[in-house]
A and B are shown apart, each in its own frame.
Chain A
Amino acid sequence: MALTGWGRTAPTPALVERVRDEADVREVLAEAAAGGPGRGVVPRGLARSYGDAAQNAGGHVLDMTGVDRVLDVDLAAAEVEVEAGISLDRLMDLFVPLGMFVPVTPGTRYVTVGGAIAADIHGKNHHVAGSFSQHVRWLDLLTADGQVRRVSPDSDADLFWATAGGMGLTGVILRARVRMKPIESSQTLVDTDRTPDLDSLMTLLTETDHLYDYSVAWIDCVAKGARMGRSVLTRGRFARRDELPARRQADPLRYSGSVKLSVPDVFPPRLLNIATVSAFNEVWYRKAPKRKRDQLQSIPTFFHPLDGVGAWNRIYGPRGFVQYQVTVPFGHEETMRRVLERIATSGHASFLAVLKRFGEGNPGMLSYPSPGWTLALDIPVVAGLARLLDELDEQVVDVGGRTYLAKDSRVRPEVFERMYPRIDDFRAVRARVDPDGVFTSDLARRLEL
């Protein structure tokens, strides 16, 4: 069966094994180890990484989504102990009504806890809360030798910080204990600001981001010239119960997520072009309020607007798409501007770009966030794109920036090495816990990790 990531590029066949518990996982691991060198095994969650992280050509792939039980809940401490295949969607269904939200959520609820740790994902609250792994008290890792090791920032910290952001290459995360975020209501209070260009956006974010728990901007990357970087900034926090309208105060934690409609798999390769995208963006920008304060929004509306449409990745047609996500350190705003400008003028249609200000990084060896700006945009696969992105990578890496592995499907291995100076520490940990290289993936082979 040929697998791809969310971007639907570079499919490769593998033996996909759907597992239910630790015993199943062990069985597959033994099979993979016996299968000889080179092909090995990689865990896979809900396959929301864009590229080839959860693919393993010619080897085994562990479908972890069936390992999804809740093992323990501590309401007083707001902690949950769960199996790694459980989705954030399910966690919200179960725990929002009990007054707990996931500590970090990406732009989609459909990721597993294992995937969240393995990519050390970040959300709109990175500037105040850091990334997902910083809310993991410990995790149980099944390593290549068949041992289950309980690792945490205090116990085998190296293995913990190699696993957080380690893209499934240190072992299988079986279980984790996660600190949740206590909430009084399931509603967010949101402020919206429209900004006419990139400068005003960055200034606004720099000056006032610290006042909000959550913040993110959507930039129109088709607009050129003076309007370049026009954007809609939304920022907010969870509402207290007494901030809800009276009629909702009786049931402040009411929550329903679940998907509505699905995009059929029929889109032609060239549906998205500069004309359709500009038209869309114009409407989108005009529709947003210029300035709005304290608007109540549900969790799906504020955090996961794209989840309202299932399988929207099909809109890019059969050739698929890539997401280019990079970060550049503070002080190099000019580089960010140039990247945006190059993409805007290249004619490679991209709907919207997402811009966010990161807070401090963490000790994760391959963890992506670091202090600076992060920009993410989707681009359909077209001729000439490889060269353009290679060129942008150079500018980014030259100022100490990097690309995000969970989104990557095309960075050059030697550029990647420069982006992650701690790669050799990561390799050392892998050599210790997996000397025969049982855990491997298409991503690992492509980037020679």
Chain B
Amino acid sequence: MIDALGSVGSLLLVGGTSDIAVATARRYLQERPLRVVLAARDSARRTTVAEELRTAGATVEVVDFDAEDPKSPERMVAEATAGGDVDVAVVAFGQLGEPERLAHDPDAVAALARVNYVAPVVVGTVLAERMRAQGHGVIVALSSVAGERPRASNFVYGSTKSGMDAFYSGLADSLAGTGVSVLVVRPGFVRSKMTEGLPEAPLATTPEAVAEAIVTGVRRGRHTVWVPGAMRWIMSGLRHTPRVLFRRLPI
């Protein structure tokens, strides 16, 4: 249970190897020990992360999760909650996709849509159902500024984020009065595994900064956070930028 002062007792990381998810767990662990469930594909990195978080004071449970397997979300949530309620669930898995390939390969587009849109909304549905029964809990969904106004350079990714963002924003409203809430997180460019080797966009930030924003957002009961905070105003500007101009922006 999240206690009177906002301290969290158990955390589920869906996409448990994500840099942002791991930074979030570390940030919570700075406050006090807690139970962390890592839901991720079986990999060496998953084992490393589990070890790392144990050392940092967490009680770690590992469960399998593969966004490409339609049966995975239900199984994963059942397993993750078998050991007790989940206070905060972070939906962090996702792929950036390769724009050149996506432009010509319909299968790649379908696959990205499944991982970045279908799986997150299925996970969201199952998590919400479970948390409604619990009567408490917070779902944190990693959206992106790329969903605000998709750009030519990675519009397939942007469109999946746009879709999942709309889903979680609506889910938030549908959960009013149930004790469950949703925090939609919209980071800009984050230096993580996902963006390794890519040229940095303006206002680039870190997984730690996103983690900080998540922890504060959850504590304050926010519904959306932008990271960095200034992104909110920039994107609101960009949303209204005429198309001709927008296309030419170096972003």
Which residues of A are in contact with B by a Cβ distance under 8 Å? 2, 7, 9-14, 38-39, 51-52, 56-59, 320, 322, 381, 385-387, 389-390, 409-410, 412-414, 442, 445-446, 448
Contacts and interface: CB of A to CB of B under 8 A. Distances in A.
A117 B196 CA distance: 61
16 contacts: A12-B135, A12-B136, A14-B135, A39-B133, A52-B1, A56-B135, A58-B133, A58-B134, A58-B135, A381-B5, A386-B31, A410-B7, A413-B9, A414-B33, A445-B85, A446-B9
B9 A322 contact: no
A442 B33 contact: no
A410 B32 CA distance: 12
Contact of B4 (A10, A14, A387): A10
| Most central of B9, B32, B132, B136 by chain A CB within 10 Å | B136
B229 interface: no
Contacts of B33: 412, 414
A409 B3 contact: yes
A275 to B, nearest CB: 23
A57 B179 contact: yes
A412 B8 CA distance: 10
Contact of B3 (A39, A414, A446): A446
A209 to B, nearest CB: 33
B2 interface: yes
Contacts of B85: 38, 57, 445
Contacts of B31: 386-387
Given A51-B4, A412-B32, 7 more contacts: A9-B4, A14-B135, A39-B134, A59-B135, A385-B5, A410-B5, A446-B3
Interface centre among B5, B133, B134 (most CB of A within 10 A): B5
Nearest to B131: A58
B1 A13 contact: no
A376 to B, nearest CB: 16
A230 to B, nearest CB: 29
Nearest to A15: B135
Nearest to B133: A58
Interface string B188-205: 000000000000000000
B4 A2 contact: no
A322 B5 contact: yes
Interface in B1-40: 1-7, 9, 31-33
* Chain B: number of interface residues, binned into ranges: 20 to 34
Contacts of A14: 135
Nearest 4 A-B pairs (CB), nearest first? Answer: A58-B135, A57-B135, A409-B4, A9-B4
B106 to A, nearest CB: 43
A445 to B, nearest CB: 5
A interface, over-half SS: loop
B242 interface: no
Contacts of A448: 84
Contacts of B133: 38-39, 58
B5 A57 contact: no
B77 to A, nearest CB: 14
B84 A2 contact: no
Contacts of B47: none
B1 A10 contact: yes
B178 interface: yes
Contacts of A390: 32
Contacts of A10: 1-4
B5 A13 contact: no
A381 B32 contact: no
B177 interface: yes
A7 B32 CA distance: 22
Contacts of B4: 7, 9-10, 51-52, 320, 322, 381, 409-410
Interface string B128-169: 000011111000000000000000000000000000000000
A445 B9 CA distance: 9
Contacts of A56: 135
Nearest to A52: B1
A386 B9 contact: no
Nearest to A382: B5
Nearest to B81: A38
A58 B136 contact: yes
A320 B4 CA distance: 9
A51 B5 CA distance: 11
Contacts of A409: 3-5
Contact of A446 (B1, B32, B179): B1
Given A52-B1, A442-B1, A13 B135 contact: yes
Contacts of B6: 386
B84 A13 contact: no
Nearest to A35: B133
Contacts of B136: 12, 57-58, 442
Contacts of B177: 2, 13
Interface in B160-186: 177-179
Contact of A12 (B5, B9, B179): B179
Given A39-B133, A58-B136, A386 B7 contact: yes
B179 A58 contact: yes
